[in-house]
Amino acid sequence: MPDALELLKTRRSIKPIELNGPGPSAAELETLLTVASRVPDHGKLVPWRFIIFEGEARLAAGAAIVAAFRKKYPDAKPEQAEAERQRLARAPLVIAVVSRAGAHVKIPEWEQVLSAGAAAMNLVLAAHALGYGASWITEWYAYDRGVLAALGLKENERIAGFVHIGRASEKPEDRPRPPLAEIATRFS
């Protein structure tokens, strides 16, 4: 396993299309979910959950995405529809991080949403620590209520991200990062 700080300093997203199989084993999947669920959670509400897409189930979910796509674009070409069907089948494993944040007497909804973001980030980092590449994306279907209902989300639930996980064939180049002087100020 790489040094933790080195991992944090070098992590990069890998495009879903560049994430190949074989995907994580059952034991690795358990590690991923264990790390993802070990996040700060004000009030211990567990305001998130995970949906795992592997194997043929990725295309079954894709059928719901195509159906919503065809509704929006009835004249879409067959190859466009096929690309939509493949959305969740680009990487060998996709884990949807579902936010179930809601009104609460004590815990602001905002903090519950942040906890879901932390879960998604932990998932990405755990994947990298296991030697996999990962990509945290949403894309249009994360905001389509028809697709979400077909994936089993309730009305109050939202997608924090579809985390795509697989093996990266190449090490990606880094991208510019914000200069610390611009984003961190000392209060005085």
> Which residues are at the interface with ligand FMN (CB under 6 A)?
12-13, 135-139, 161, 175
Q: Which is nearer to ligand FMN, 85 or 87 (CB)?
A: 87
CB of 12 to ligand FMN, least distance (A): 4
CB of 36 to ligand FMN, least distance (A): 15
CA proximity to 124, closest of 157, 97, 92: 97
CB of 135 to ligand FMN, least distance (A): 6
Q: Which is nearer to ligand FMN, 129 or 137 (CB)?
A: 137
Q: Which is nearer to ligand FMN, 8 or 30 (CB)?
A: 8
Q: Which is nearer to ligand FMN, 23 or 133 (CB)?
A: 133
CB of 159 to ligand FMN, least distance (A): 9
User: Could you give the 3-state DSSP secondary structure of residue 64?
Assistant: helix
CB of 26 to ligand FMN, least distance (A): 26
Q: Which is nearer to ligand FMN, 13 or 37 (CB)?
A: 13
Contact call for residues 164 and 69 (beta carbons, < 8 A): no
Locate 110 and state its tokens.
């905002």
Locate 5 and state its tokens.
């700080």
Beta-carbon contacts of 179 under 8 Å, excluding residues fewer than 6 positions away, are: none
